[in-house]
Amino acid sequence: MMNTTRDILNIGGRWRPWEVAIWLLALASPLLLSSHALIINEIAIVALFAVSLDLILGYTGIVSLGHAAFFGMGAYAAALFSKHVMPDPLVGLAFAIAVSTLLGAVCSLTIMRGSDLTRLMVTLGVGLILMELANKLDWLTGGADGLQGVVMGPLLGRFEFDLYGRTSALYSLVVLLVFFVLARRLVNSPFGGTLKAIRDNRLRAMAIGIPVTARLAVVYTVAAGIAGAAGALLAQTTGFASLDVFAFDRSADVMLILVIGGTGWLYGGVTGAIAFKLMQDVISSITPQYWTFWIGLFLVVLVLVGRERLIRPWTWFRKARQ
């Protein structure tokens, strides 16, 4: 019994008390900050999307500008499932994850060869192809008008999706936590260790017997499934899916989120999503036309000054005194 409890507590590495406290506070935030439940829901969805990209970018070294392809596939899969099959959110989420995972498995074949620039262009091309398909198949997807009339049933048969977004925010946070724990377990496992070896030096990893091709295919497929879950949450909590889920802007935004939060650690996607969405919300309310300028300026300062110096000013004093 004690061993089982220890295994649960140490899943994906030892959980520190501050981590448990933060996640409990996050799960309580839709109730404590009910007036901000909608932005909390957006942050949770974007954070999950960023975590999925970090698996392939931060831990494996695969640069992708078309990660929105899996996000959009998950969104449309969940919306179409709800509209034409059944409105249960959990079943729709599972279906969207399965479809995105399958797409990721197919697309993983395209990243096995070539340089980083080749992979960059291939991933971008996949996203653009899916966006154009969604536009042309307007009888199924609604085309440029988007897929409308998506109605979600109550969560677990009891909790309705209210207009204030409390149920949506809690739902998205729970899904984020589940996939965060799974991703944490993955990157702290021996499999995760091989991913870091591939990221640091692919030729050396091959020389010591790591099946590089298989590892890349698996992690790319897993990341696609998690991105699909984020897209499904967006469609389910908004009741709408449009072409912008495949847009290049969405892939670029999640890349900026990892620049802000940092790559190679899962909390980077979460903290980056919080910072990015809060800046976007606050700055756009002050200057709706020029909010991108201020976020761009922040990114320039972040790169020039350094993340640690910007977040921890006391390091300046320590270095100044040396």
pLDDT digits (tens, 9 = 90+) for 200-223: 887 888 888 888 888 888 888 999
Q: What is the mean pLDDT of residues 279-307?
A: 76
pLDDT value, residue 13? 59
Q: How far is CA 144 from CA 66, 100, 134, 176, in A?
A: 20, 22, 8, 29
Nearest-5° Cα angle at 69, 52 to 246: 115
Q: Which residue bears the tokens 């300046």?
A: 316
Residue whose C-alpha is closest to residue 74's, from 34, 51, 108, 45:
45
| Gyration radius of the chain's alpha carbons | 20
Is residue 103's pLDDT more than 50? yes
Phi, psi dihedrals of residue 295, rounded to the nearest 5°: -65, -40
Is residue 49's pLDDT more than 80? yes
Q: What is the mean pLDDT of residues 74-84?
A: 88
Beta carbons within 10 angstroms of residue 246's beta carbon: 29
pLDDT value, residue 9? 37
Are 268 and 256 in contact by the 8 Å Cβ rule? The answer is no
Average pLDDT value over all residues in the chain: 80
Structure tokens at 196: 């870091």
pLDDT value, residue 175? 93
Is residue 81's pLDDT more than 70? yes
Instruction: Give the tens place of pLDDT for each residue, 159-191.
Output: 777 777 788 888 999 999 999 999 999 988 888
pLDDT value, residue 304? 74
Q: What is the mean pLDDT of residues 303-321?
A: 53
The most distant pair of C-alpha atoms in the chain lies apart, rounded to whole Å, by 68
281 CB-contact burial (10 Å; exposed 0-12 / middle 13-18 / buried 19+):
middle
Are 51 and 177 in contact by the 8 Å Cβ rule? The answer is no
Percent of the chain clearing pLDDT 90 (strictly above): 15
Three-class SS state of 35: helix
pLDDT value, residue 228? 92
Three-class SS state of 313: coil
Q: How far is CA 116 from CA 142, 169, 266, in A?
A: 35, 36, 22
Q: What is the mean pLDDT of residues 243-272?
A: 84
Phi, psi dihedrals of residue 58, rounded to the nearest 5°: -80, -35
Is residue 309's pLDDT more than 50? yes
Higher per-residue pLDDT: 152 or 100: 100
Q: Which residue bears the tokens 């300026």?
A: 297
pLDDT value, residue 16? 82
Most confident range (mean pLDDT) of 148-162, 169-183, 230-244, 279-293 is 169-183
d(CA 65, CA 119): 9
Distance of CA 17 to the CA centre of its chain: 25
What's the number of CA atoms in the CB half-sphere (13 Å) around residue 160?
A: 3
pLDDT value, residue 321? 39
For residue 152, the 8-state DSSP code is P
Instruction: Give the tens place of pLDDT for each residue, 109-160.
Output: 877 666 667 777 777 888 888 888 888 887 787 777 777 777 777 777 777 7
Q: What is the mean pLDDT of residues 44-50?
A: 92
Higher per-residue pLDDT: 239 or 317: 239
Q: How far is CA 11 from CA 17, 29, 267, in A?
A: 14, 24, 16
pLDDT value, residue 115? 64
Range of lowest pLDDT (73-77, 135-139, 224-228): 135-139
CA dihedral 34, 37, 39, 44 (to 10 degrees): 130
Report the CATH number of the 25-286 domain: 1.10.3470
Region of 142 on the Ramachandran plot (φ > 0 left; ψ -120 to 50 alpha; else beta): left
Domain ranges of the chain: 25-286, 291-322
For residue 15, the 8-state DSSP code is P
